[in-house]
């Protein structure tokens, strides 16, 4: 089950994960909506114009797609942030999980296409984040230049063992959550991407 989880300011705890169903999948299957949701989860509440500036989009587009996300329950108003007619938005969930099998084998081709859009956009986002780091890591302190990772491994596993490994890796990552206070010296937000998938043998 692929999972996208971010920190950021959130009204609930960090384990508030939404498992996508057919209805909410349709609302999520748009590249800009995925980017908007990711930005709100990572950076906290924002206005449509603020998100437009961050993502290089028009405020009309971000406003429309925020309303669409709200209609599917992914975002909501953050009225305590608003001033006057200014409308602030926040993510409802800390992350999203996908049971891909039920969508990839769905009889409706629109559902199969929608999950393809979501999964490919996630993959593109991961690649973009890694490329951004590679292009900017020379600007970081030497300590961080030594404390990053991009590795790949080849194992021979059954589906059950693959699922077990994924669960253990998730648990290990979660064990580091909230260990570092916000004001800890030298601490920054760290992004971790986990990809595990089978490959055909020759």
Q: CA-CA distance, 54 to 35, in Å (whole number)?
A: 10
Q: Are strands 3-5 and 95-97 parallel, antiparallel or unpaired?
A: antiparallel
Checking if the pLDDT of 6 tops 60, the result is no
Please tell me the predicted confidence (pLDDT) of residue 165.
97
Query: What is the per-residue DSSP string for 90-152?
Result: EESSSEEE--HHHHHT-S-HHHHHHHHHHHHHHHHHHHHHHHHHHHHGGGS-HHHHHS-----
* 8 inside domain: yes
* 15 inside domain: yes
* 9 inside domain: yes
Q: How confident is the model at residue 7 (pLDDT cuts 50, 70, 90)?
A: very low
* 191 inside domain: no
This prediction has a pTM of: 0.82
Helices (H) and strands (E) in the chain, counts: 8, 6
* 164 inside domain: no
> In a 10 Å sphere around its CB, with 0-12 CB exposed, 13-18 middle and 19+ buried, how is residue 91 labelled?
buried
Angle at 200 between CA 194 and CA 201, to 5 degrees: 120
The structure tokens listed for 168 are 């253990």
- What would the pLDDT profile of 121-177 be if each residue is shown by its tens digit? 999 999 999 999 999 999 999 999 999 999 999 999 999 999 999 999 999 999 998
In 3D space, the residue among 113, 33, 100, 108 whose CA is nearest the CA of residue 71 turns out to be 33
* 156 inside domain: no
- What would the pLDDT profile of 76-107 be if each residue is shown by its tens digit? 998 787 676 789 999 999 999 888 888 999 99
Residue 5 parent element (H or E) = strand 3-5
CATH code of the domain containing 129: 1.10.10.10
Report how many domains make up the chain: 1
Report the chain's mean pLDDT, rounded to a whole number. 90
* 20 inside domain: yes
* 17 inside domain: yes
The domain in which residue 111 lies consists of 3-141
Please tell me the predicted confidence (pLDDT) of residue 168.
97
């Amino acid at each position: 089950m692929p999972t996208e989880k971010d920190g950021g300011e959130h009204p609930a705890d960090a384990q508030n994960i939404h498992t996508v169903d057919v209805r909410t999948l349709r609302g999520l299957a748009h590249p800009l909506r995925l980017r908007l949701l990711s930005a709100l989860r990572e950076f906290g509440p924002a206005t449509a114009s603020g998100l437009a500036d961050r993502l290089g989009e028009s405020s009309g587009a971000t406003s429309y797609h925020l309303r669409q996300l709200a209609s599917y329950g992914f975002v909501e108003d953050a009225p305590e942030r608003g001033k006057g007619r200014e409308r602030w938005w926040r993510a409802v969930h800390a992350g999203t999980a996908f049971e891909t099998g039920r969508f990839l084998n769905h009889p409706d081709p629109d559902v199969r296409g929608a999950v393809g859009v979501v999964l490919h956009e996630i993959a593109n986002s991961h690649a973009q984040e890694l490329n951004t780091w590679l292009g900017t890591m020379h600007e970081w302190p030497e300590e961080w230049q030594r404390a990053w990772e991009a590795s790949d491994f080849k194992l021979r596993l059954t589906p059950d063992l693959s699922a077990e490994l994924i669960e253990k890796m998730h648990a290990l990552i979660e064990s580091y959550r909230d260990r570092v206070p916000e004001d800890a010296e030298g601490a920054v937000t760290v992004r971790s991407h986990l990809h595990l998938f089978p490959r055909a043998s020759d």
